[in-house]
Amino acid sequence: MKRFDKDYVHSNVYIKEESKLLKEVTASAKKNANSPKQVFISFLTDPYSSFNQETKLTCRVLEILLSYQIPVSILSKGGLRILEDIELFKKFGANIQIGGSLTFTNVTDSLKWEKGASIPCERFEALKILHEEGIRTWASMEPVIFPEQSLEIMEITHKYVDAYKIGKLNHMQKQEAKCNWEKFLVDAVCIMRKYNKPFYIKQDLLKFKPSWLRLKPHETDMDHLALKNTF
């Protein structure tokens, strides 16, 4: 965010006026009522931050989306905090998928690079519980700071993560230069195919694909893993 706003401070959390936010969600739901597509929650914030424990806004937004039968994909580093809405998730049936941003296996690295996020084992445990409860799970493998840890995550989580979106590290040139992205891409694809996992390679990593590696069209399609409405 500092690329766009030099005064940006990540810990300065704020929300729109609650009534305005919920009004926007409702208006959008009504507008797309005849052909509802998956809503993604969310990119530049976390729906299950500690802040949400006070406001419960994520729960209220999900209730609106459910009432209009709109599929939802969630991405969070909130770990076990995600589970506070598990009974609501179940009401969506096949129309919800819950993802975790999985970056490290090493707790020390996680605390250094991801201040405020839950530690890796909590994120793994949350996805495992969700999977056991019959809720579709996915993992966002991005940013990839230490490729060996990202590959280890895939090996650890494949039994309870249903699909993977795989990217790389961006906007940190010195750290990026330390990584062999072609090798990471090849190794990641091998793991995905070994466990027969649906996956999507993001465009920034796809640039490093060797000519001999064959990927199916849907494995590079950003919409491939989006939910189809079955309400």
Tell me the per-residue pLDDT of 89-126, one tens digit each, with 9 for 90 and over.
Answer: 999 999 999 999 999 999 999 999 988 899 999 999 99
Residue 178 has pLDDT above 70, yes or no: yes
CB-count exposure of residue 210 (10 Å: 0-12, 13-18, 19+): exposed
* CA–CA dist 122, 111 (Å, integer): 13
CATH 3.20.20.70 fits 18-220, yes or no: no
CB-count exposure of residue 149 (10 Å: 0-12, 13-18, 19+): middle
- Which amino acid is residue 102, in one-letter code? L
Mean pLDDT, the chain, as a whole number?
Answer: 91
17-26, 48-57, 168-177: which is most confident: 168-177
Structural contact between residues 99 and 73, judged by C-beta atoms closer than 8 angstroms:
yes
Question: Residue 194 has what pLDDT?
Answer: 98
Q: Could you give the C-alpha distances from 158 to 76, 114, 134, in angstroms and in order?
A: 18, 23, 15
Average pLDDT over residues 127-156: 97
